[in-house]
C-alpha cells in the first residue's frame, strides 16, 4: 500500500510546483506496481528534487526507504531537511561513515528513512522497499547496484535516482525505455534580482 501524502502536502509551508507534483504522481504510480520500478528524476539545482525524494520516502511509510548521497555534508543536509519537513512519526536515521556505531543494525531495522553516504554500501543488509540515490552521476554503477542489491526480501526494492546531469549510460537506458524518467523544469520560486551600476569617482 502507498501512504497518502495529501495531508503532508497541504501542511507544508509552501506549495510544490506542477512539475514536483507530477514527479510525485509518477513515483506513486511506480509504487503501486507489483514489479520493482526504476526511475530517474532530472532537474537543475534548486528545482526542488529534495521535496520529491522526501515525499517518496513518506509514500512507503511504515516500510523503509534508503537515501544515499555522495558526500557527508550533503547527506547531513538531507537529514536536516527530512527532520524539518517530514512528519514526527517518521523514524529518520543518519548513518555516518567510519566507525561502526553500537546497535546500528537494530536502529536500521527500526528506521523508516535511512540517510547516509557510500558507507551504506557496507551495510550487511536492509529491508528497504525504496532505494534512492541523490546526485547519481557522482556514484559508479557498481556502487549504485550494490546498495540496491543489499535488500534481502523476496521482492526487489523500487529504485529512484536524482540528478541534474545524468550520466550518458543513464540517458541511453532512458532512450531504450529501460528506465522511467520525470523531468522537473519549473523552479519553485523566482528570485528578484536587482542590478546596480556603481560609479567609481576619483
Residue 9 lies in a domain: no
Residue 128: what pLDDT? 87
pLDDT 10s digits, 168-194:
555 565 555 557 889 898 887 654 445
Residue 68 CA to residue 9 CA, distance in Å, equals 24
Residue 47 lies in a domain: yes
Sheet with strand 113-116: strands edge to edge = 92-95, 113-116, 65-68, 130-134, 158-163, 38-43, 180-184
Identify which has the larger pLDDT, 96 or 20. 20
CATH code, 173? 3.40.50.300
Residue 200 lies in a domain: no
Residue 11 lies in a domain: no
Residue 193: what pLDDT? 47
- The per-residue DSSP string of 7-70 comes to HHHHHSSSPPPHHHHHHHHHHHHHHHSSS--EEEEEE-TTS-HHHHHHHHHHHTTTS-EEEE-S
Residue 132: what pLDDT? 93
Residue 6 lies in a domain: no
User: For 50-71, what is the mean pLDDT?
Assistant: 94
Whole domain around residue 154: which residue ranges? 19-184
Domain count, the chain: 1
* Residue-averaged pLDDT of the chain: 81
Residue 45 lies in a domain: yes
User: For 53-70, what is the mean pLDDT?
Assistant: 95
pLDDT 10s digits, 110-165:
999 999 888 787 776 668 899 998 865 444 455 545 555 555 566 788 989 888 76
Residue 27 lies in a domain: yes
Identify which has the larger pLDDT, 51 or 174. 51
- The per-residue DSSP string of 135-196 comes to SGGGS-HHHHHHHHHTB-SSSPPEEEEEESS--HHHHHHHHTTSSEEEEE-S-S--------
Residue 103: what pLDDT? 72
Identify which has the larger pLDDT, 23 or 169. 23
Residue 73 lies in a domain: yes
User: For 89-102, what is the mean pLDDT?
Assistant: 79
pLDDT 10s digits, 24-40:
999 999 999 988 888 98
Amino acid at each position: 500500500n502507498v501512504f497518502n501524502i495529501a495531508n503532508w502536502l497541504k501542511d507544508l509551508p509552501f506549495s510544490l510546483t506542477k512539475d514536483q507534483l507530477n514527479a510525485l504522481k509518477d513515483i506513486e504510480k511506480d509504487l503501486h506496481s507489483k514489479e520493482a520500478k526504476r526511475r530517474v528524476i532530472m532537474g537543475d539545482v534548486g528545482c526542488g528534487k529534495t521535496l520529491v525524494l522526501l515525499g517518496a520516502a513518506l509514500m512507503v511509510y511504515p516500510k523503509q526507504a534508503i537515501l544515499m548521497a555522495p558526500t557527508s555534508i550533503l547527506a547531513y543536509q538531507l537529514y536536516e531537511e527530512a527532520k524539518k519537513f517530514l512528519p514526527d512519526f517518521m523514524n529518520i536515521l543518519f548513518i555516518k561513515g567510519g566507525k561502526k556505531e553500537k546497535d546500528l543494525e537494530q536502529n536500521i531495522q527500526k528506521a523508516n528513512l535511512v540517510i547516509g553516504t557510500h558507507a551504506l554500501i557496507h551495510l550487511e543488509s536492509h529491508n528497504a522497499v525504496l532505494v534512492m540515490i541523490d546526485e547519481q552521476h557522482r556514484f559508479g554503477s557498481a556502487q549504485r547496484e550494490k546498495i540496491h542489491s543489499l535488500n534481502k526480501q523476496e521482492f526487489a526494492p523500487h529504485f529512484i535516482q536524482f540528478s541534474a546531469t545524468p550520466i550518458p549510460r543513464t540517458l541511453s537506458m532512458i532512450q531504450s525505455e529501460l528506465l522511467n524518467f520525470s523531468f522537473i523544469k519549473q523552479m519553485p520560486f523566482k528570485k528578484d534580482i536587482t542590478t546596480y551600476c556603481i560609479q567609481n569617482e576619483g
